[in-house]
Amino acid sequence: MKRSAAGAVAVLFLLFSSCATNHLPVPGESAAVKKTVSIEYMAIADAYNDLAKYDKAAQYYLLAMKNKKLYWSAYYKLGRCYAMSKNWTEARKIYSSLLKRDPDNVNIKMSLAYIYAMEGKLKSAESIYELLWKENPGSVEVLTNYIDVLIASEKYDEAEKNLSIMKEKFSDDKNISLFEKKLQELNPKQVELEESDKDSSVITEEDTVLE
């Protein structure tokens, strides 16, 4: 009788063990699986990003964002994907959010200013670049973008003023000649001056002939 009872207990134990193995979750297993899957999503997104397949990359960054530890990294990369695929509206939303979280980040400010410029929101882009230039007077990249936006906004006098600063501080920069050419073509004052010089030249030639 005792043997029979012991056998029954053994059978029940085996059945319970089998059920536990098949149905009862191991503590922490679910979280570990989710973490692994999220890491895989991130890796897939990065791979698509490297291939410049930004739409595909964005899909997987969104999936990776479900993991709290990967959220901000995936979110930043998602914003970059939107920018690279010229989805300026979505890119602006993300970079604006990132800037609120990290208000002193120069790279985020630069990216947001660029996005505003590409959207045609030149006033917003100009204000960011102007502030960036005041905060980073040694950055030729900031000054270059600032002058570019000033020209696009048809603020030629301001552009000329900042171009003079560029010539003084970054005399070897290749953008100087490009800006000079742009301003010569676009600045009405410069065009009028050139036309006036031409007229003066013609008059001088006529006077010479008359003599």
**Using one digit for the tens of pLDDT, what is the confidence trace for 152-171?**
999 999 999 999 999 999 99
Report whether 176 contacts 166 (CB < 8 A): yes
Distances (CA, A) of 98 to 30, 54, 79, 112, 164: 30, 20, 9, 10, 34
| Per-residue pLDDT, 36 | 84
According to DSSP, residue 67 is labeled: S
Residue 143 has pLDDT above 90, yes or no: yes
What pTM value is reported for the model?
0.74
**Using one digit for the tens of pLDDT, what is the confidence trace for 62-96?**
999 999 999 999 999 999 999 999 999 999 999 99
According to DSSP, residue 25 is labeled: P
Residue 107 has pLDDT above 90, yes or no: yes
Q: What is the mean pLDDT of the chain?
A: 83
- Dihedral, 27, 30, 35, 41 alpha carbons, nearest 10: 170
